[in-house]
Amino acid sequence: MVPAPSNDRLAPYAAKDETSRGRGIPEPSPVYRGEYQRDRDRIVHSAAFRRLEYKTQVFVNHEGDMFRTRLTHSIEVAQIGRTIARILHLHEELTEGIALAHDLGHTPFGHAGQDALNECMAGHGGFEHNLQSLRVVDALEEKYAAFQGLNLTFETREGILKHCPPSKARELGALGERFLQARQPSLEAQVANLADEIAYNNHDVDDGLRASLISIDELREVSLFREQHDEVLRQWPGLPLRRAIHEVIRRMINRQVVDLVEVSQSAIRAYSPRDVDAVREAPVPLIRFGEGILEQHRELKRFLRNNLYRHYRVHRMSLKAQRIIRALFQAFTEDPRTLPPEFQAHTRDLEETHGDAGRSRAVADYIAGMTDRYAIMEYERVYNPTQLT
Helix 110-120 to helix 356-368 angle (10° resolution) is 170
pLDDT for position 221:
96
Residues 58/207, Cβ–Cβ less than 8 Å: yes
pLDDT for position 7:
65
Please, what is the Cα angle at 344 between 340 and 350, to 5 degrees? 145
Average pLDDT over residues 2-14: 73
Residue 224's closest CA among 192, 196, 258, 263? 258
- Residues in the chain, overall count: 389
d(Cα 207, Cα 226) in Å, to the nearest integer? 18
Q: What residues contact residue 52 under an 8 Å CB cut-off, 6+ apart? A: 69, 70, 71, 74, 103, 104, 106
Residue 56 has φ and ψ, to the nearest 5°, of -85, 160
Residue 153 has φ and ψ, to the nearest 5°, of -70, 160
386 or 340: whose pLDDT is higher?
340
**pLDDT tens by residue, 141-162:** 999 999 999 999 999 999 999 9
Residues 345/301, Cβ–Cβ less than 8 Å: no
The DSSP annotation for 349-381 comes to HHHHHHTHHHHHHHHHHHHHT--HHHHHHHHHH
d(Cα 273, Cα 388) in Å, to the nearest integer? 62
Average pLDDT over residues 62-79: 78
Residues 372/54, Cβ–Cβ less than 8 Å: yes
- SS3 assignment, position 273: coil
How many other CB atoms are there within 10 angstroms of residue 19's CB atom?
Answer: 14
d(Cα 275, Cα 354) in Å, to the nearest integer? 41
Residues 105/69, Cβ–Cβ less than 8 Å: no
Name the percent of the chain in helix, strand, coil, to the closest 5: 65, 0, 30
Instruction: Determine the residue type at 79.
Output: Q
pLDDT for position 57:
67
pLDDT for position 59:
55
Residue 151 has φ and ψ, to the nearest 5°, of 50, 55
* % residues pLDDT > 90 (the chain): 86
pLDDT for position 2:
43
Task: Using alpha carbons, list the distances in angstroms from residue 26 to 46, 141, 377.
Answer: 20, 18, 40
pLDDT at 386 over 90: no
* % residues pLDDT > 70 (the chain): 95
d(Cα 45, Cα 30) in Å, to the nearest integer? 16
Residue 145 has φ and ψ, to the nearest 5°, of -70, -35
384 or 93: whose pLDDT is higher?
93
Average pLDDT over residues 367-378: 94
- SS3 assignment, position 23: strand
pLDDT for position 169:
92
**Where are the alpha helices (H) located in the chain, listed in sequence order?**
35-44, 47-51, 70-87, 92-101, 110-120, 129-135, 154-160, 166-169, 177-181, 187-210, 216-219, 223-235, 241-271, 276-280, 291-304, 312-334, 341-354, 356-368, 372-383
**pLDDT tens by residue, 254-302:** 999 999 999 999 999 999 999 999 999 999 999 999 999 999 999 999 9
Torsion-angle region of 101 (φ positive above 0: left; ψ -120 to 50: alpha; else: beta):
alpha
pLDDT at 370 over 60: yes
**pLDDT tens by residue, 188-235:** 999 999 999 999 999 899 989 988 999 999 999 999 999 999 999 999
Can you name the residues that pair with 56 across neighbouring β-strands? 69
pLDDT for position 46:
97
pLDDT for position 6:
55
The rounded Cα 145 to chain-centroid distance in angstroms is 27
Residue 97's closest CA among 238, 217, 191? 191
- SS3 assignment, position 285: coil
How many other CB atoms are there within 10 angstroms of residue 334's CB atom?
Answer: 11
Q: Which domains does the chain possess?
A: 21-313 (1.10.3210.10), 314-383 (no CATH)
**pLDDT tens by residue, 20-69:** 999 999 999 999 999 999 999 999 999 999 999 998 866 554 454 446 78
pLDDT level of residue 129 (50, 70, 90 thresholds): very high
pLDDT level of residue 380 (50, 70, 90 thresholds): very high
Average pLDDT over residues 168-176: 92
pLDDT at 251 over 50: yes
- SS3 assignment, position 230: helix
